[in-house]
A and B are shown apart, each in its own frame.
Chain A
Amino acid sequence: MKKKLSIGMLAIYAVTFLAAAVCLLPLLLVVIVSFTAESSIIQNGYSFFPETWSLEAYRLLVKNGSDMVRSYGNSIFVTLTGTLLAVLITAMASYGIANPFVRYRDSIAMYFFVTMVFSGGMVPWYIICQKVGLYENYWALLIPSLVFNPFNLFLVRNYMRELPSSLLESAKLDGANDGQVAFYIYFPLCKPILATIGLFYGIAYWNDWWNSIMLVSDKSYYPIQYYLMKLKSDLLFMRNLQSAGIGGSAYTPTESLQMATAVVTVGPIIFLYPFLQKYIVKGLIIGGVKG
């Protein structure tokens, strides 16, 4: 006899399905609005079922979007270079504190750990960035806050510790130095965890606007997230001026254009999502459970 779906199970399906809808629908709304004709938005507001569909927003984006394209390029450049650099720095340091021949490896690990718990916060950070010249240039987007994270260091270190130490010893007996062991033996074996932290770093770079709000004021360095933020706040500012009767008829991006820009910004994350899930979920679990 086939088992009937109990009321309890039905409720579970309903709740979990509803929760999934709540997670996805808001994002879907943004996508739909980006394909909605402006007249339709003004008449009916944001809607899942627009009266008139339109590609106008994306056409405008390509046509007048030189600032936007530049910001997008900045983000791609910073994300790729930054992630590569960050993974390299983290992997090398992890080898240093995972290598059993290094007598002081645990003290060095402690050195990295201390700053995770205690540091001066944003004010000293800001002053130091100014002092070392990390402002108004690409380095300011690349280096501060993002290029190294001790949390990722410990993830990789723990992974390396699980590798059999005979690997290291036999390679050393064959006359390899630590650099060769790290780059030719350890790093290739650590590919899964390096992919995980690579994605962590990559998302942090792509989603970052902290460095730009603090250290960059020249438009040509804006990454895409900060560009989006400015788009909204400038618009608000202009509307206030216009309602006060001061502003002229300056160019204001339409509602659908704003949402189209947002969609283009989320694009790479959606595109990478299958990888994200595979590698990051593992990292989240290891990191989450271990604190």
Chain B
Amino acid sequence: MKEATKVKEVTKLTKAKNVKKKHGFISDIRKNKVSYLMLIPAALYTFVFGYCTIPYMLIAFKKFSFKKGLFASDWAGFENFKFFFRSQDAWHIIGNTVKLNLLFLFFTILSAVILAIMINEIKNKYFKKVAQSSYLLPYFLSWIIVNYILYGIIGSNYGLLNHALAAAGGETINFYNTPKYWTIILVAVKVWKEFGMNMVIYLAAITSFDEELYDAAAVDGASRFQMCMRITIPLLLPTVVMLGIMSAGKMFYGDFGMIYALVGDNGVLYRKTDVIDTYVFRTLRRIGNPSQAMAISLFQAIMGFLCVWGANYITKKKFKEGALF
């Protein structure tokens, strides 16, 4: 009701103002000068850092040099792509990116859902609040700080874990030299940092469920565990699936901030930790080949776009509300 009258009033007002004028873009700007003026900074930012980046994707097909610029640089055809896909690195960094993302997604969701359900069962308000605050804290730390924390735990000279191992009479492990542990380390760190944020969202969803369902179940003599399995989890599933599908759109984007902060330029570990984004970064900044970096990045953007489109397509079919566009 309110919505409808609002729209009516607005159209009345606008109609009254420009009965004779056409509804062109220019006349709209003229009428709402100040509004458009206030849009300029954000629009300019989006233009420069968003739209202006698109023509530069062309350099993937060129031998770009900063001196010659975008248009004068020589063409290279598909050389940059060939070079990348023929190298040994290509498949393992693509594989690492997707594998790590899948593992991150699965374990973050799993731990977030379990803890959200558990926290919801707890009646002690004080305990609930303290627990939630603790879960969320790591989310606000930078990856650099997380690296300091990780070093404190797995560092080879003074790390907590190695000291415990030594004290127990076992052999110490030089983690920063042993790639095989790093898939687990990365997944653990990611879950540690981000499950709290996910839990908050799931908990909000759970608390919005209809109390009457639970009351009715209680009358029928259901236990809390049965309610959880038969009511909470089925009702929560759409939210979980929706958020999961949304993250699936980012399947080909590695978390540069995380990987680079934790691994840095430690080449020993690349086999297990290198993802597309860190590889592009190195190609651009360490090797200094923007064209090749762009070729990989373009491949990533296309795959990413396909994933977003696919994810959106599925969401649209299953949950109309959640669709992005």
A contacts, CB < 8 Å to B: 8-9, 12-13, 15-17, 19-24, 26-27, 29-30, 33, 41-42, 44-47, 89-90, 92-93, 95-97, 99-104, 108, 111-115, 117-128, 130, 132, 143-145, 147-148, 150, 153, 164-166, 169, 177-179, 182, 203, 206-210, 213-214, 225-226, 228-229, 232-233, 255, 258-259, 262, 265-266, 269, 273, 276-277, 281, 284-285, 288-289, 291
Contacts and interface: CB of A to CB of B under 8 A. Distances in A.
Interface in B45-86: 45-46, 48-57, 59, 66
Contacts of A33: 152
A102 B145 contact: no
Contacts of B130: 20
Contacts of B325: 113, 117
A108 B39 contact: yes
A259 B152 contact: yes
A104 B46 contact: no
Contacts of A213: 260
Interface stretch (B89-97, B98-106, B158-166): B158-166
Interface residues of B, number: 106
Interface stretch (B179-187, B212-220, B267-275, B277-285): B277-285
A164 B6 CA distance: 8
B241 interface: no
B121 A123 contact: no
A47 B160 contact: yes
Contacts of B6: 100, 164-165
Contacts of B35: 95-96, 99, 101-102, 178
B129 to A, nearest CB: 9
Given A42-B158, A46-B159, A225-B142, A12 B118 contact: yes
Contacts of A16: 115, 118-119, 122, 127, 131
Given A8-B224, A17-B131, A262 B324 contact: no
Contacts of B28: 102-104
Interface in B1-23: 6-7, 9-10, 13-14, 23
11 contacts: A9-B121, A16-B131, A101-B35, A119-B50, A120-B56, A128-B48, A128-B53, A132-B48, A150-B46, A166-B9, A281-B136
A202 B319 CA distance: 34
A118 B305 contact: yes
B131 A96 contact: no
A287 B162 CA distance: 41
B9 A30 contact: no
Contacts of B145: 30, 228, 262, 265-266
B324 A12 contact: no
Given A8-B225, A95-B38, A284 B200 contact: yes
Given A29-B153, A122-B280, A232-B147, 7 more contacts: A23-B137, A92-B39, A108-B39, A120-B294, A121-B280, A127-B59, A233-B265
A30 B148 contact: yes
A144 to B, nearest CB: 7
B141 A266 contact: yes
Given A15-B118, A45-B160, A288-B243, A119 B53 contact: yes
A29 B164 CA distance: 14
